Each structure stands twice: as C-alpha cells, then as structure tokens.
Amino acid sequence: MNLAITLLTGPPPPEALAAMAAIDGLRIVPTMLNTQQGPEAHLGPESAGAILVLQGTFADEGRFEEFWRTVVDLFSLLASAPGFIRRCNFADGPHYTLIAWWRTVEDAHAFFDRPEHRAAMRRTFERRWNYTHFAGLWQAVSPHRRLFFCPACDGIVPSTESSCTTCGTALPDPFGGSDVPTPASLP
C-alpha cells in the first residue's frame, strides 16, 4: 500500500509557543539556521557514532568576519569528508553553536587532522577570533533505533524496514530512499 506522506516543517502551533514562553528560562527568538549534508546524508541520527559540538562567542566585528571567511573554506571541505553525515549551526543571542554528526570518532578526527583544519585552528589561536571557544566530540554510547509510526495503521516499525510490517504501507525514509543501507547492514 502506498500512502502519500508529507513531512511538516514550521514552528510549533501558537498555543504550544505560548505555553513554552511561560516556562522560566525558556526563550523563543528568531535565528538563522545553517545546515549542510555530507556524503553520508542518507543516514539518520541513529547512525552517528560521534557528535561534535562547537560553541563560540565574538566581541570584535573584524575578527568575527575573518572567522566566518575561514569557516566557509572548511564547510566546503565537509561536503566530501568521509563519514560526515550532516551539521547545523545557529546563533542563540551571542552564542554561536555548531552540531555535527559523524559516522565514527575516527572519521571526525581524520577531518580534524586535515592540514586545512589544523591551519584554521592555529589561526583561531593566533588571531584570537573568538571571545570564547569550546569544542567537544562525543562518542555515541547507546544510540536507540529510529522508529516510524505508520500513518495508515498506527503500527510502530524500526527505521530498518522500508514498509510497515503490520499493513505493508511504504515508509520512505526522510534521510534517503528505500534502498538506503540500514544501520544494521553498515560496517
């Protein structure tokens, strides 16, 4: 059975936003979200063996601009970096944050060891682009399976299946086609 599935994009409904706005310490602000897919973009988050978090703040406009001009070169290298799944970065007020998903810790370190990345890091310290800088790489310890909730029969199916095991409805993966290797079949 084929059922047309349209994935939703957009903010939460107004009543949810209003309820969130009432929570102490929770802020809702407009921001720019920058995303990039890598060679492994067909994989879902359950396939990430490593997650990188970068965070920085800036206090000098010229250094801020110089930083971003250098980062663009690194982003272009990510487009073909082995094991790179995807990344997003955003600003939360003065806090700039990047989160990147990698297949393995070794894949992430192979990118970090590239001469271009090492030179950019060296310039980070020489030029003092940031007011603050943080980098952390986490290894996935207990990733859980990603699940599909079948819209035709309410069945719950692991993302390793291309159709509902209860009713047979095709369940296209938002990260790739039905011929995408499943986490269980990947080396």
Bridge partners (DSSP) listed for residue 95: 92
Instruction: Report d(CA 17, CA 71) in Å as an integer.
Output: 33
Domains of the chain: 31-139 (3.30.70.100), 145-178 (no CATH)
Inter-CA distances, 14 with 11, 26, 30, Å: 8, 15, 15
Give residue-wise pLDDT tens across range 119-170: 999 999 999 999 999 999 999 998 888 999 999 998 999 988 889 999 999 8
What pLDDT is stored for residue 142 in this prediction? 87
Is a pLDDT exceeding 80 seen at residue 112?
A: yes
Is a pLDDT exceeding 70 seen at residue 186?
A: no
Instruction: Report d(CA 106, CA 50) in Å as an integer.
Output: 9
CA 137 to chain centre: 13
What pLDDT is stored for residue 89 in this prediction? 96
Q: Six-digit token pair at 29?
A: 């602000």
Q: Six-digit token pair at 152?
A: 């035709």
- Least confident stretch, 27-31, 37-41, 109-113, 173-177: 173-177
Is a pLDDT exceeding 80 seen at residue 4?
A: no
Is a pLDDT exceeding 60 seen at residue 25?
A: yes
Instruction: Report d(CA 66, CA 79) in Å as an integer.
Output: 21
Is a pLDDT exceeding 50 seen at residue 11?
A: yes
What pLDDT is stored for residue 54 in this prediction? 97
Helices 115-127 and 105-112: angle between axes, nearest 10 degrees: 70
Is a pLDDT exceeding 80 seen at residue 180?
A: no
What pLDDT is stored for residue 127 in this prediction? 93
What pLDDT is stored for residue 178 in this prediction? 46
- In whole numbers, what is the pLDDT of the chain averaged over residues? 90
Mean pLDDT of 110-122: 97
What pLDDT is stored for residue 122 in this prediction? 95
pLDDT level of residue 9 (50, 70, 90 thresholds): confident
Is a pLDDT exceeding 70 seen at residue 177?
A: no
